């Protein structure tokens, strides 16, 4: 039984419910290329609407740097969101202020509105109290259904539950229940995969996991920072140079507690990040100065498959490469196929979090 509030423990009829979702779906030329995050969120919104709530959906989209920008607007998500929910969804041109207030006021019971990108306001990522209070003023209850963004100390993910009665949405509930099951007396060896673009967003996860798991796979651009901390030359790869000492600290602590840390031994490199970019496989010791590491290579995948053969439980969050762009989804897809195969065969218990990871695993689960 869950030790946190869920949609079963709160009365939402006639209430205005702020729902934090993660609708940060991949998009190319204005077209959604993978709607997994939307379809996985839809049941929470639908249930709240069916229960007579006025549903106000909050989310981030991309990484806008200087306020509102058309390419980071969430308006193009409305049609896909409405189709997934099976009910109309309105849109507001801001997430606070006059536009947001008017949109929320216009809602009737069982209706929903998607507010504009919360990251259009600097107060979101800075977790400013004033911004959080402005969001909170729009609703009566807060529901967090953004498991993949829940680790961020941002206003809409870390502070709203302090300002309003709060509960977990169905997706958040499922993720937490599965994660608890996987980490509470799990079948061992226990292996965790942590990928994605930034060490800074997953520091707490990494520092916690090295004390809980037997093996820790680090992929994505996060691995670049760890490789640089080991003295590798990363060329133009995305790294967080200010976190090298932190990476070294995590590696040292992992060794001290007996957690086997697994980093790429070869990578797919390219001179530009775009779909279909010319790429090649090189050792992590031979990355050219003008190239970027954008995915793990076949030797790395072979080594990880060997580790999976002796693993009983896998917890996975984040892709191993620039998953949105082919061919840099190859590493994630290859590992996902093996995890899905072993899980289907009953040799492995696997728990995945994060839209890209879930999309990869679900895609591979259906393949022969």
Please write the tens of the pLDDT for every residue from 6-33: 999 999 999 999 999 999 998 888 889 8
Domain boundary among 116, 138, 169: 169
Same domain as 137, residue 253? no
Number of domains in the chain: 2
Same domain as 56, residue 127? yes
Rounded to an integer, the average pLDDT of 60-69 is: 91
330-344 vs 298-308: helix crossing angle, rounded to 10: 20
User: How far is residue 4's CA from residue 341's CA, in Å, rounded to a whole number?
Assistant: 33
Rounded to an integer, the average pLDDT of 140-166 is: 89
Q: What is the pLDDT of residues 118-130, one digit of tens each?
A: 999 999 999 999 9
- Binned at pLDDT 50, 70 and 90, residue 136 comes out as very high
Q: What is the pLDDT of residues 48-59, one digit of tens each?
A: 999 999 999 999
Least confident range from 35-49, 171-185, 333-347: namely 171-185
pLDDT given for residue 353 in this prediction? 61
Residue 367: is its pLDDT beyond 50?
no
pLDDT given for residue 294 in this prediction? 97
Comparing 362 with 236, which gets the higher pLDDT? 236
Same domain as 317, residue 189? yes
In a domain, 36, yes or no: yes
Residue keyed to tokens 């996860």: 205
pLDDT given for residue 178 in this prediction? 73
Same domain as 192, residue 145? no
pLDDT given for residue 185 in this prediction? 82
In a domain, 245, yes or no: yes
- Binned at pLDDT 50, 70 and 90, residue 151 comes out as low
Same domain as 32, residue 124? yes
Q: What is the pLDDT of residues 310-358, one digit of tens each?
A: 999 998 888 899 887 899 999 999 999 999 999 999 999 888 765 444 5
User: How far is residue 365's CA from residue 20's CA, in Å, rounded to a whole number?
Assistant: 28
Same domain as 128, residue 28? yes
DSSP string, 318-331: S-SS-TTSTTTTHH
Domain hosting 114: range is 16-169
pLDDT given for residue 330 in this prediction? 95
Same domain as 264, residue 120? no
Same domain as 158, residue 117? yes
In a domain, 10, yes or no: no
Same domain as 79, residue 194? no
- Binned at pLDDT 50, 70 and 90, residue 364 comes out as very low
pLDDT given for residue 182 in this prediction? 72
The strand order across the sheet containing 266-270 reads: 279-283, 266-270, 292-296
User: How far is residue 117's CA from residue 124's CA, in Å, rounded to a whole number?
Assistant: 10
Q: What is the pLDDT of residues 79-127, one digit of tens each?
A: 999 999 999 999 999 999 999 999 999 999 999 999 999 999 999 999 9
In a domain, 132, yes or no: yes
Residue 1: is its pLDDT beyond 60?
no
20 backbone dihedrals φ, ψ, rounded to 5°: -90, 115
Q: What is the pLDDT of residues 201-233, one digit of tens each?
A: 677 778 888 999 999 999 999 999 999 999 999
Same domain as 190, residue 143? no
Q: Which of 219, 210, 221 is nearest to 251 (CA)?
A: 210
- CATH code for the domain of 255: 3.40.50.1260
In a domain, 249, yes or no: yes
User: How far is residue 195's CA from residue 231's CA, in Å, rounded to a whole number?
Assistant: 20
Rounded to an integer, the average pLDDT of 352-368 is: 49
pLDDT given for residue 152 in this prediction? 74
In a domain, 11, yes or no: no
pLDDT given for residue 207 in this prediction? 86
Same domain as 237, residue 153? no
The model's pTM: 0.66
DSSP string, 153-164: --IIIIIHHHHS
Considering the chain, what percentage of its residues have pLDDT values greater than 90?
A: 74
pLDDT given for residue 362 in this prediction? 52
Q: Which of 60-69, 180-189, 301-310 has the highest mean pLDDT?
A: 301-310
In a domain, 180, yes or no: no
Domain boundary among 143, 169, 195: 169
Domain boundary among 136, 169, 202: 169
Same domain as 203, residue 165? no
In a domain, 288, yes or no: yes
Residue 292: is its pLDDT beyond 80?
yes
């Amino acid at each position: 039984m869950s030790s946190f509030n869920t949609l079963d423990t709160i009365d939402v009829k006639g209430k205005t419910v702020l729902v934090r979702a993660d609708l940060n779906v991949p998009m190319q030329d204005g077209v959604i290329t993978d709607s997994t995050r939307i379809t996985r969120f839809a049941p929470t919104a639908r249930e709240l609407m069916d229960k007579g709530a006025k549903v106000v959906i909050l989310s981030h989209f991309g990484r806008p740097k200087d306020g509102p920008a058309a390419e980071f607007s969430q308006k193009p998500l409305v049609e896909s969101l409405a189709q997934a929910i099976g009910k109309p969804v309105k849109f507001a041109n801001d997430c606070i202020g006059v536009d947001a207030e008017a949109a929320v006021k216009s809602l009737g019971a069982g209706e929903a509105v998607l507010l504009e990108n919360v990251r259009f306001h600097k107060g979101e990522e800075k977790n400013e109290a004033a911004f959080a209070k402005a969001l909170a003023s729009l609703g009566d209850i807060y529901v967090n259904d953004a498991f993949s963004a829940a680790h961020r100390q941002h206003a809409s993910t870390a502070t709203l539950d302090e300002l309003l009665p709060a509960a977990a949405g169905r997706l958040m509930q499922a993720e937490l229940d599965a994660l608890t099951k996987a980490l509470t007396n799990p079948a061992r060896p226990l292996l965790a995969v942590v990928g994605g673009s930034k060490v800074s967003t997953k520091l707490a996860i990494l520092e916690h996991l090295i004390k809980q798991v037997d093996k820790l796979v680090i992929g994505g651009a996060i691995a670049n920072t760890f490789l640089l901390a080991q003295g590798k030359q990363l060329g133009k790869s995305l790294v967080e140079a200010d976190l090298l000492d932190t990476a070294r600290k995590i590696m040292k602590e992992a060794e001290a507690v007996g957690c086997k840390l697994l980093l790429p031994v070869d990578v797919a490199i390219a001179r530009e990040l775009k779909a279909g970019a010319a790429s090649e496989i090189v050792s992590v010791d031979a990355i050219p100065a003008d190239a970027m590491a954008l995915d793990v290579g076949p030797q790395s995948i072979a080594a990880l498959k060997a580790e999976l053969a002796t693993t009983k439980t896998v917890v996975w969050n984040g892709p191993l490469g620039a998953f949105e762009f082919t061919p840099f989804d190859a590493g994630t897809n290859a590992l996902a196929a093996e995890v899905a195969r072993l899980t289907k065969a009953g040799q492995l218990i696997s728990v995945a979090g994060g839209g890209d990871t879930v999309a990869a695993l679900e895609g591979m689960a259906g393949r022969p």
